[in-house]
Structure 1
Amino acid sequence: MNDLRNKAFIRIGIMVAIMLLSIFLAFYIKNIFLKIPFIIIAVGVAALLIRLYISYKRKKLYFDGKVLTITPPKRKIGKYSIIIKNGKVSKKFYSFQKPEMKLGANYVVVYEEKSFNILEFQEAKFQMMNAKAVSKNPKFRM
C-alpha cells in the first residue's frame, strides 16, 4: 500500500514538473506558433491536477449489498456500470476498469460521494455486513 502511494506521488510530481516547464517555455519562447503547444499542454495538465485534487478531497462512503448487474461500456472507452442492491435500496456505481466481481455475491464497496466511482471493493463477510463493524474501520466512513 505504501509503495502504491509513493508511485502516485511520483506521478503527480512529474505532472507538476511538466506543467511548470511548459509554463516557463510558453513565457520564454518568442515565436507565437511555438508558444501555443506549450500553453495547451499546461492547461491540460492543470485540468488533470485540479480534477485529481477534487477527487482526493471528496468524501469516501461505503455501500454493501448483492451485485445484480455488471454492464460494460458501450464504446471501447468508457465506464463499467455496476448495480448493487441492499434490501429495497439499489445503487448504480461506476468503474473505469473491469471489476472482478461475481454476480449474486455480496460486496462492500468504497466509492466517491458525488461521482459514484468505485475506489475499492471487497467481498463481504458476515462480520462486515453490520454497521458497527464497518464504523470501527476508518476507511469505511458513513
Structure 2
Amino acid sequence: MSKIPSELRFTDSHEWVRDEGNGIVTVGISDHAQDLLGDLVHVDLPDVEDGFTAGDEIAVVESVKAASDVYSPVAGEVVEINEELEDSPELVNTDPYGDGWLFKLKVEDMGEVESLHDAESYGETLEDE
C-alpha cells in the first residue's frame, strides 16, 4: 500500500501538493507514481520563472521502464526547482514526499489547491485502479 500523507493534496495524475504558506506550494509525484515508474534515472524540471496553467506538462521523469510527463497541478509560476535531482534522481524513489520534491510554484489561486483530492479521496482513486 502506498504512503499517502494526510497534509497533502493530490491530482488524478499522481502529483502531490504541499501548501508552504504565502501562496507557495511544493510539488512532487506520489509514492504510488514512483513505485509504478520504478528506478528513476533522470528528471527534467522546468525553468524558474516559467508560468503554467493547471494540467500543463511541466516536467518529465524518466525511469529504466519509461518516461512520464508530470503535470502542473495548479496555475502558477515556478519559483524554485530541486537541483539535487540533477545528480540524484533516485531521491524521488527513496523519499517522494521529502527530499524527492520536484519544484515550487507561486500559485495564482489557492482555491485550486483546495479543489484537489485530499489524502482520503486520493486513496480511493488508487483503489479503483
Fold shared, TM-score > 0.5 on shorter chain: no
* Structure with the bigger percentage of strand: 2
Larger Rg: 1
* Structure with the bigger percentage of helix: 1
| Structure number with higher relative contact order (C-alpha < 8 Å, ≥ 6 residues apart) | 2
TM-score by length of 2: 0.31
TM-score by length of 1: 0.29
